[in-house]
Amino acid sequence: MNKSAQAKTLILVTLCSMNALFGQLSFDQLMSNGVRADEKGQYDEALINLNLAVDAKPEDDMAWLTRGIVRIHMSDFSSAVVDFNKAIYLNPSRSKSYLYRYIAYSRTENYQFAFGDINHYLGLAPSDTLGRVYRLEIALKLKEYDAVNEDMIWLYKTMGDFFLKDYLPILSTHFDASKKYTDFQKILIGLKQINPKEMLISESLIQNTYQMGQFELCLTQVDEILKQDPQNQSLLKLKADALFYLNHIAESEAIYQTLLAGAPNDGDLMADYGHCLLQLERYNDADLWLSKSIKSKNSTPAYAYLGRGIARYNMGKIGVACADWERSLLLGEKSASKWLEKHCQENPTNK
């Protein structure tokens, strides 16, 4: 017999001996041994005990549930789902089976099934904070905003500002990407009713109002908060932006200038200020500030190149204006194509 065959025989004999030994244990002992082995990370031993427990009492849902949990720890999610299915069939009122099946489904990206399970779990255990967090996260992924709203309000009432500071930025990032500002507004209004004085909620609501294009309302909201906090830089920036879009350019320019005095190296502020100067037809100044913005490596270079091209075109520098618009278009500013088509088709030389 070769060494490989000898090794296989030895393993088989060992397993048979272990099964015989474990087979002498009671159901409760097998369950207890399986749980302890799982806690120690000894998953193979845990499975041996729990396999025998399932064989001993196949009608006991806890045996199936516990084995499924071990399989989650082993990242064997498909087998875990099979165990949880059986556990739920045997005892559909045990909430933990739905919670763990949710985990298995979410790990395999079966999000719709996972969402169904976490909903069922919360129906049986509505006061579970972790369950609420789980549903909030998957509801956000699936854009199930009614559930997001319900859980944000429940969790804020339960956990307070600690929870809000962690999760409100996550929501802001999500809704900025999805552009579902109306849904976000509903959530923010609900949060504000819980604590009208919370500045993080107020600022998020104002930012969302601005993103919805409701600039007049945005100004009203900003001015109300600035009465209490007149040096709030982010709100002053938002006010300047809203004034710009409402064509109150002189007022907008004054605020940008004040902000730049306090943050002279802010390339994004430079770009906004440069575009404001464009509207005031101060093209030389616009060229200067937009050039500074580009050199500062701001976060929106395409916007700065577009504006500098417009300034230079109005200064009669058509060649370099076209070069700026080409760079702007390459960086993703689609509106630059209109300027290129209108003014740069004949490839004019620099003046």
User: In terms of C-beta density within 10 A (0-12 exposed, 13-18 middle, 19 or more buried), how is residue 29 classed?
Assistant: middle
CATH 1.25.40.10 fits 11-124, yes or no: yes
Separation of alpha carbons 329 and 312, rounded Å: 16
Where is 64: in which H helix or E strand?
helix 61-73
Amino acid 188 reads L
Residue 226: count of CB within 10 angstroms of its CB: 14
Q: What is the per-residue pLDDT for 229?
A: 87
Q: What is the per-residue pLDDT for 351?
A: 40
Low-confidence residues of the chain, pLDDT below 50?
7-15, 347-351
| End-to-end CA separation in angstroms for the chain | 92
Separation of alpha carbons 181 and 315, rounded Å: 40
Amino acid 322 reads C
Tokens 């906004």 correspond to what residue?
272
Tokens 């490989």 correspond to what residue?
4
Q: pTM of the predicted model, to two decimals? A: 0.77
In this predicted model, what pLDDT tens digit does every residue of 96-147 receive, in sequence order? 999 999 999 999 999 999 999 999 999 999 999 999 999 999 999 999 999 9
Q: Which CATH number fits domain 265-351: 1.25.40.10, 3.40.50.720, 3.90.1300.10, 3.40.640.10?
A: 1.25.40.10
DSSP category for residue 345: T
Separation of alpha carbons 329 and 335, rounded Å: 8
Q: Smallest Cα–Cα separation from 293: which of 321, 313, 263, 317?
A: 263
Axis crossing angle, helix 199-211 with helix 233-245, rounded to the nearest 10: 20
Separation of alpha carbons 124 and 244, rounded Å: 52
Separation of alpha carbons 93 and 293, rounded Å: 62
Q: 30 with 48: CB under 8 angstroms?
A: no
Residue 314 to residues 266, 284, 309, 333: CA-CA distances in angstroms? 26, 9, 9, 20
Q: 206 with 181: CB under 8 angstroms?
A: no
Residue 16 φ then ψ, to 5°: -60, -40
